[in-house]
Amino acid sequence: MKHFRITLQYDGSRYDGWQKQGNTDNTIQGKIEELLTKLFEQKVEIQGSGRTDAGVHALGQVASFQVDTDIGPAKVMEKMNVFLPKDIIVTDCRLTDARFHARLNAKSKTYVYRIVTGDIRPVFGRQYVLWHAEQLDVTSMRKAAEYLIGEHDYKSFLGNRHYKKSTVRTIESITITEDVIKAGETEFPGIKMAFKGNGFLPNMVRILTGTLLEIGEGKRKSEEMEGVLSGCDRALAGPTAPAHGLTLLKVEY
């Protein structure tokens, strides 16, 4: 039995998220497991580092699986990339030991949300950025983000009301930078918001983004974030930002 660790990139636009589900066969985990089961002629289950939402992209998703085979990692990667859909690719494949688990062993994850600001709406590459015509008060957004750093109960930013596990997480950093955003071959003024933490609740990064956007729009004051966080009530936070602006950038072990 060999144990593999793979790194993946995918465009999540047409998928129902990472996690396989009983009501759809159009998930990234499901597509990969289906392929591996056919390639190795045995049932293969994979574990991802996290469950990206429907429409969310990844540049550095990590997954692990075990399979009874004589094939090495280079050949496994080659075979997978021949048969995977064109919007999913394996960028790294290596052997690991039986103790490695892509989710349980992850130390931190970094997500990036990209926002194009200004009057010109991107046409090419629009599925990877959020267009926000109004200018945003980045200084106020940064002040609000400071309240979110550290270990807290982030229940106010939980998108699944049926979630039964702990809602305590640690956010190491939230970096909000004014930057040039490239969509297609065109460069736009915009903002990048990078969230690094030891784990994130369902929809958490998108709700954090939506709340920070309300502050940037002047609909809330920066100081209100403290009460939103301590209130542990989803109704206190802002809307869930659209999925297509969000990308899982990397996972660290």
More confident residue, 153 or 161: 153
The CATH 3.30.70.660 domain(s) of the chain lie at: 111-252
How far apart, in Å, are the Cα atoms of 41 and each of 33, 85, 103, 150, 236?
A: 11, 19, 25, 46, 50
Token pair in block for residue 10? 């995918």
Q: In sequence order, which residues have a C-beta less than 8 Å from that of residue 214 and are 6 or more positions away?
A: 220, 238, 239
Give the confidence band of 88 by pLDDT, cuts at 50, 70, 90. Answer: very high
CATH class of 2-96: alpha beta
pLDDT at site 133: 94
Closest to 188 measured CA to CA, from 198, 176, 197, 179: 179
Q: Provide the CATH number for the domain formed by 111-252 in this structure.
A: 3.30.70.660
Share of the chain above pLDDT 90, in %: 96
pLDDT at site 25: 87
The CATH 3.30.70.580 domain(s) of the chain lie at: 2-96
Confirm if 96 and 233 have CB atoms less than 8 A apart.
Answer: no
Distance between CA atoms of residues 202 and 118, nearest Å: 30
Report the predicted TM-score, pTM, of the whole model to 2 decimal places. 0.95
Mean pLDDT of 7-17: 97
Query: What DSSP assignment string belongs to 44-71?
Result: --EEES--PPTT-EEEEEEEEEEE--S-
pLDDT at site 250: 97
Distance between CA atoms of residues 48 and 109, nearest Å: 12
Distance between CA atoms of residues 30 and 38, nearest Å: 12
CA angle, 36 as apex, 34 and 37 as ends, to 5°?
65
Strand partners, 120: none
How far apart, in Å, are the Cα atoms of 93 and each of 20, 65, 162?
A: 22, 11, 35
Residue 21: pLDDT over 90: no
Closest to 16 measured CA to CA, from 57, 62, 53: 53
CB neighbour burial string for 76-97, b if at least 16 within 10 angstroms, e if fewer: bbebbeeebeeebebeebeebe
Quick: pLDDT tens for 91-150: 999 999 999 999 999 999 999 999 999 999 999 999 999 999 999 999 999 999 999 999
- Whether 53 sits among the annotated catalytic residues: the reply is yes
11, 16, 25, 53: the active-site residue: 53
Residue 23: pLDDT over 90: no
Give the confidence band of 22 by pLDDT, cuts at 50, 70, 90. Answer: confident
Share of the chain above pLDDT 70, in %: 100
